[in-house]
Amino acid sequence: MQTLHVELGDRRYPIFIGSHLDPQALLEPYIKGKQVMIVTNETVAPLYLKHYVTALEALGKKVSTCILPDGEKYKNIEHLNLIFDALLEAGFNRDCTVLALGGGVIGDMAGFASACFQRGVYFIQVPTTLLSQVDSSVGGKTGINHPLGKNMIGAFQQPQVVLADMAQLKTLPPRELSAGLAEVIKYALLGDAEFLTWLEEHMDKLVQGDETLLAEAVYRSCAHKARIVANDEKEQGERALLNLGHTFGHAIESYLGYGEWLHGEAVATGMVMAADLSCKMGWISQNDLERTRKIIARAKLPIVCPQIPLDDFLGYMAHDKKVLNGQLRLILMKNIGQAVITKEFDIDLMKQAILENQQS
């Protein structure tokens, strides 16, 4: 087991990364009060819920559960409210702990609920997908979607502790493992050329679910994100780099309807578009663009999106949070392993990069 500490001043917390982790021993120091609400979904509950209920009850906790339907389309205010209902119906007070057992949607919703319930209670994350292990376990971003935009309503809420158990990835559908690898690749592309070389060496085994290599990839990804977040917790600057591929990706997700493509799939194609625009701007070489396409394809991720009318695509991009005072900023690559946030790009080249990475 490896331990990574996310350094956020008085809200420093550990991420435990390994296989077959022991929740009873690892979680005990991080639970506040006697009441623990496990928030999970209908897919994860039959697989892992009992394991965690048993572990927490062995610690003498009063454990309640809130089982939500599975899917991004339930990441809304109505289903958030079901968590509040469960907390209050179980008589929870402000000295309680909310534990998220599931992927990114569950982490976002349970985390946001824990930030708001009684104006803030303890939060623990047990991410059960690769995507949530490398993404939402670091950074404290929580929230819900609104019909007019993704993650428009939320809070920064840091967990007390995160358990990232590779053994739980065994039950993850291959498509979701690949979606997680999209974010892993993102860390390499935006800030770590050496990590990209490592991924090029090991991608085939990663796709096959090698737990030791996956643990290493999770550790490196979280360490990378943790460094950036520690420098810029509230996303005033550097943290925006983590959105490489996301502005394009959000447009793809929004057009197709949330849940049609997985978030990681949309980000994958979004990164190709960002790399292509970076290449068209003369910042990265054609060879770097092909390396980008190839590592994404080897992770079994899409490198083109379905045909989307340009006006629709641009409209969804304008709804993205990276629009500052009406001016679109993008995360592009000055080099492989060196992303920048910039509004200094050619809008026509951007349109070409969107159109040329769609299915013909």
Per-residue x/- marks for its own copies, 245-284, CB under 8 A? ----------------------------------------
Task: Tell the smallest beta-carbon distance from residue 155 to its own copies (Å).
Answer: 6
Contact positions with its own copies (CB under 8 A) in 55-114:
77, 81, 84-85, 88-89, 93-95
Active site residue 81: no
Q: 129 labelled as ligand-binding?
A: yes
Dmax (CA) for the chain in angstroms is 62
- CA-to-CA distance for 211 and 299, rounded, in angstroms? 16
Distances from the Cα of 281 to the Cαs of 48, 94, 298, 328, 333, in angstroms? Answer: 48, 53, 26, 16, 10
Q: Which listed residue (176, 243, 291, 322) is catalytic?
A: 243
- CA-to-CA distance for 257 and 315, rounded, in angstroms? 14
Q: 238 labelled as ligand-binding?
A: no
Distances from the Cα of 303 to the Cαs of 27, 268, 344, in angstroms? Answer: 40, 7, 25
Active site residue 246: yes
Task: List phi, psi (to 5°) of 102.
Answer: 160, -160
Active site residue 79: no
Residue from the set 58, 152, 167, 310 that interacts with its own copies by CB under 8 A:
152
Q: Are 124 and 27 in contact (CB under 8 A)?
A: yes
- CA-to-CA distance for 318 and 196, rounded, in angstroms? 31
Site for its own copies contains 167 (CB under 8 A): no
Active site residue 263: yes
Identify the H or E element spanning 269. helix 263-280
Stretch near its own copies under the rule CB under 8 A, chosen from 103-111, 116-124, 126-134, 238-246: 116-124
How many chain residues interact with its own copies (CB under 8 A)? 34
Q: Which listed residue (28, 211, 216, 235) is catalytic?
A: 235
Closest to 15 measured CA to CA, from 230, 164, 238: 164
Q: 263 labelled as ligand-binding?
A: yes
Distances from the Cα of 193 to the Cαs of 219, 241, 293, 315, 335, in angstroms? Answer: 16, 15, 15, 33, 9
Contact positions with its own copies (CB under 8 A) in 14-53:
33-34
Q: 107 labelled as ligand-binding?
A: yes
Q: 150 labelled as ligand-binding?
A: yes
Q: Which listed residue (186, 250, 293, 322) is catalytic?
A: 250
Task: Tell the smallest beta-carbon distance from residue 230 to its own copies (Å).
Answer: 17
CA angle 159–165–171, rounded 5-degree value: 120
| Tokens at 272, concatenated | 């190709």
Q: Which listed residue (41, 61, 79, 141) is catalytic?
A: 141
Q: Pick out the residues of the known binding site for Zn(2+).
A: 183, 246, 263
Under the rule (CB under 8 A), what is the footprint of its own copies? 33-34, 77, 81, 84-85, 88-89, 93-95, 115-120, 141, 143, 146, 148-149, 151-156, 234, 321, 323-326
Catalytic residues: 119, 141, 183, 225, 235, 239, 243, 246, 250, 263
